[in-house]
Structure 1
Amino acid sequence: MMDSRLTARALTALIGSWRMREPAYEALADAIRLLCLDGRIAPRTALPAERELAARLGVSRTTIAAAYRSLRGSGHIESVRGSGSVTLPIGRRDLGRAAAEDGMIDLQQASPSAWPGLAAVYAELAAEAAAVVARPGYEVLGRPGLREAIARRYEERGLPTDPAQIMVTTGAQSAITLVASVLVSRGDAVLVETPTYPHAADAFARVGGRLVAVPVTVGGGWDLDRAEHAIQRSRPRALYLMPDFHNPTGESMAVESRRRIAELARSVGAVVIVDETTAELSIERRIAPPPFATVGGENTITLGSLGKTVWGGLRIGWIRADVDTIRRLATARPAMDLGTPEFEQAISERLMPLMPEILQQRSQLLREGRDALITALAQELPEWSVPHASGGVALWIGIGAARSSALTLAARRRGLLLSAGPRFSVGGGHERHIRVPFTAPPALLSHAATLLGQAWRDVAHDRFGSGEQQPLDAVV
């Protein structure tokens, strides 16, 4: 059984410059493996017929047949009668990411370890479990006390909020998916940043949204001229933005830019969906701008989460919107789930007053990780363009050549798992960048930089291919 079919033209666009080494069939197989591993080709997708793909790539059918044979051997595809070659879930899991084996460093996710005080809060609440389980547990809007605590947190940040404007969700991804399903219909334009958070782009595409990309660059921020043109031309139903410590670039949007984006959105009747999952992860202790909703008004929907600030395993997120929108979301939600787990909500309710303490610890942890990673990369790869992020969870590194996918595969062979730059793109590109999170311990990040340096030299010198060495400046 297959879910979709990929044309030769579409696959060619996805793999980009694939012939980085010899033999050609193995280079092609590696390129397709990476697309499967990071989720750009979904499981149960039928690949193009051998003859069709050979003609598109300008290679022999024998090369395509050998590449597909290699992919079958590594468990990435299978042959299905009547469907041809169909991709398989990686490790029988539809996660879009590789499983880390013993001894490997996994930097595919950009989430720090749990806040050190979390276990004590769990233990404290466990002693009062009888009171927690006495509640019905089916609360579509969320636990009243937690909604009040989240509203107070917005008040502290300068955004007056009533608890009736809050819905608690099972993490930020659940919030994104719910908002997308309610607001976006098939064929609606949705303006998104590129690079962007890939699972958000996937959520809007899944409901039939037509993604319109606006660039965000390190040091340059948001291209407002492109944004204005795109908004006026496409008249999007919604904008999805991460204006504070944008993932993956680390950029933050200036107040003037927020006002301009909000004005443009209002002019075409678009809803601005603001993802604040990284908004409070400041490293340099800058004065944070007020939440986007202070300038966006009622046509702004704000999404938050404790996944990056407290722990990724604490699946608590929320939506802040006007009361009418919250009611619409509450009506639609039971088709997806009936509420957020009560115990985790009770934990989160106790954590909200501790956020200043939690954020101070996170700032220190992220600073140590960032500084260790930047220092190690400067020693290993001085030719790379490594930004000095003032917050967030990762560095969006310019590697100077369109080799991000090849580098990611080489790093896997060295025991380092990363996501290639194109995973964060909308409409293709970003082969000249790679995201490296700095949420791991400093010693681990230093070792990761060493492995990354080795992998880069492997790519440049083609150590996994023909053995013909190329100088680094020849890599294009």
Structure 2
Amino acid sequence: MHLRISVQNFIIGENGIMINDQFLKSGLYMTPRRSATHSLVRLLGHWQETNSRTPLWRQLAQALRLLILDGRLPLESRLPGEREFATVLGVSRTTIASALAQLREEGYLQSRHGSGSWVMLPEGRREIPTRMSAPQALDLSTAALSAGAEIHQAYSHALTMLPEYLHHTGYDQHGLMVLREAIAHRYCTRGLPTTADEIMLVNGALSGLALVLRAMTGPGDRVVVENPTYPLAIAAIQGASCRPVGLSLPAQGWDTDGLAATIAQTAPRLAWLMPDFHNPTGRCMDHATRQIVADLFARTRTTLVVDETMVDLWYNAPPPPPLAAFNADAPVITIGSAGKSFWGGLRLGWVRASARTLASLIQARDTLDLGSPLLEQLAALWLLENSDNLLPARRAMLAQRRDMCAALMQDYFPAWRFTQPEGGLSFWVELPEMLATQFAARAESVGIHLGTGTRFGLAGAFERNLRLPFTLPDETLRNAFELLQPLWQTLSGQQNTHRLRKII
């Protein structure tokens, strides 16, 4: 039996693959997204080192590789053509071609003649490539801790509890009643009266945000976010085809007048804020500001999504009551998580909202999943029940690491400026020059991945900043700084030399 195919029914896709035209019309085929040229230039930031001995094409390859590894260049997105790219960057086409060739050789790009180049990751690997002496890549871009002994205890206890739930189907989009009651009790003790019917369990805080976006927004809707903010929240908002609108953070606190003006001028569908040890700055919103913010959202009837991921990680004093407690008329949805408080591998979070709002979220959830894993819920229950014994030791350990990290930065990088964070897991560092991208590119060459400030801003902002976590053991952090110090001295020295030449 022979299969006959009519060529007339097929077209050639952007990646060179022959596609049935009916399949294309069905909407199931997704052509690679093309990265807007000027947007890509903004993301690249200050990638070019004027006085460096490193060839320009290699500098560009390093900067593009960072964007790919950070997730700011989405997989399968297509890069601009060489001629257009060279024009906007002000470099030769040969420089562009050499940089792209290097990335293709490393497995970060795939190209096809006439179709351009699109982003990918090397086959079977996600670690940072190393080319010098570092035996293993070190990630200084992720602010998270490894699991402690209590995680094994929690899962062991969960296994003993599991049999009594096995006669159920396991499908429950609302979540276990006993865990929802425990979470509701925590809100009550923090000053926000809550019932179990106002709690819904989800698969992490980011999953909760994605669910809210799916249920409450549409393509083109505006969502107000702090600038800087958590990069995956930006990705979730953009992934929902919404437009993030930045609210710039002042040197201290929050700009409530700016927030009011932004809501009035842009009419956002909702806002997403992190008042409890904001990521990446570590600051905490005080009582007075929470009252102003809650009253503003009650008055405008704009939905406010509050992320409390870091709420348990305070070092000087616990935060004020939840923002939703300051005005009962404010349409506030609160999202919490066990990831930062206990362990990131425990993919469990929750949404606190009115029963009516939760009903809408459950309806929207039908197209995502059928509930959170039962074993994780039981493990989280044990951790919450024992949190008064577990969290003080965790906070004490992190406070010690925070203080040690601050002392090491003062010793190794005295030109860096930072404020001691009130909570959270990282420092928001200000560099003396716009050198974050260049420094991160150099750090990669010794097997260290840094979180540039541009990851946390809109449209490539915060080129002068780094987010530096203090979650690693002191000796590991010291060794990393010893590798980074000469790279920083060389880079900052080149900048000083360049400025002197311009003056002369």
TM, length-normalised to structure 1: 0.92
Equivalences for 1:188-199 in 2 at 5 Å? 188-199=221-232
Report the alpha carbon displacement of residue 354 of structure 1 after superposing the two structures with TM.
1.4
Structure 1 residue 266 displacement after superposition? 3.0
What secondary structure does 1:372 align onto? Answer: helix
| Structure 1 residues 473 and 342: alpha-carbon distance in aligned structure 2, compared to 1, 3 A threshold | farther
Letter in 2 for 1:192: V
Map 1:244-263 onto structure 2 (within 5 A). Answer: 244-263=276-295
CA contact (8 A) 1:36 1:90 kept: no
CA distance in 1, matches of 2:237, 2:470: 28
Given the alignment, which residue of 295, 303, 319 partners 1:288?
A: 319
- The one-letter code of the counterpart of 1:291 is P
1:337 alignment partner in structure 2 = 369
Which of 331, 356, 370 is the aligned partner of 1:299?
331
- The residue number in structure 2 matching 1:443 is 475
Structure with larger Rg: 2
- CA-CA distance at 1:45 after TM superposition: 0.8
CA distance in 2, matches of 1:225, 1:27: 41
CA contact (8 A) 1:414 1:455 kept: no
Secondary structure class of the residue paired with 2:249? strand
2: CA distance between counterparts of 1:138 and 1:358?
Answer: 30
5+ residue gaps in structure 2?
1-14, 16-30
Once the two structures are overlaid, the 10-residue window that deviates more, 54-63 or 372-381, is 54-63
Kept after mapping to 2: 8 A contact 1:396/1:435: yes
- Secondary structure of 1:350's aligned partner: helix
CA positional deviation for 1:300: 0.3
User: 1:377 pairs with 389, 404, 409, which one?
Assistant: 409
Cα distance change, pair 12–249 in 1 and its aligned pair in 2 (3 A) = same
Instruction: Please state if 1:433 is matched with 2:465.
Output: yes
Q: Match of 1:147, as an amino acid?
A: R
- The sequence identity of aligned pairs, in percent, is 36
The CA distance in 1 between the partners of 2:86 and 2:346, in whole Å, is 47
Secondary structure of 1:222's aligned partner? coil
Which residue of structure 2 aligns with residue 466 of structure 1? none
Counterpart of 1:18 in structure 2 is: 47
Deviation at 1:102? 5.1
Q: Figure out how many residues of one structure are paired with residues of the other and give that number.
A: 466
The code of the aligned residue for 1:448 comes to A
Name the CA distance, whole Å, in 1 between partners of 2:158 and 2:304: 37
Amino acid at match of 1:280: D
1:99/1:246 CA distance change after superposition, 3 Å: farther
2:340 to 304, 308, 319: 308
CA 1:262–1:92 in structure 2 vs 1: closer, same or farther (change >3 Å)? farther
SS of residue matched to 2:173 = coil
Structure 1 letter corresponding to 2:34: R
Call closer, same or farther: CA 1:104–1:64 in 2, change over 3 Å: closer
Aligned twin of 2:246: 213
Q: 2:401·2:470 contact (CA, 8 Å) conserved in 1? A: yes
194-203 or 411-420, which moves further after superposition?
411-420
For 2:88, give the aligned amino acid: R
1:407 is displaced (CA, Å) by 1.2
Shifted more, 414-423 versus 17-26: the winner is 17-26
> Equivalent residue for 2:391?
359
| Deviations 1:197-251, CA, capped at 9 Å, x for gaps | 111111111112111101225x512222322221110011111000010011001
Tell me the alpha carbon deviations over residues 170-201 of structure 1, each in whole angstroms, 9 at most, x when there is no partner.
Answer: 11111111111111111111100111111111
Distance 1:191 1:296 in 2: 20
CA contact (8 A) 2:157 2:382 kept: no
The alpha-carbon distance between structure 1 residues 12 and 336, as it changes in their structure 2 partners (threshold 3 A), is same
The 3-state SS of whatever aligns with 1:283 is coil
Residue 159 of structure 2: aligned partner:
126
With the length of structure 2 as denominator, give the TM-score of the two structures: 0.87
> Contact 1:198–1:425 at 8 Å: present in 2 too?
yes
> How far did 1:130 drift?
2.3
Write the distance in 1 (CA, Å) between the matches of 2:453 and 2:128. 16
> Which residue identity is paired with 2:415?
E
Q: 2:352 aligned with 1:323, yes or no? A: no
The answer to which of 376-385 and 97-106 deviates more is 97-106
CA distance in 2, matches of 1:211, 1:77: 28
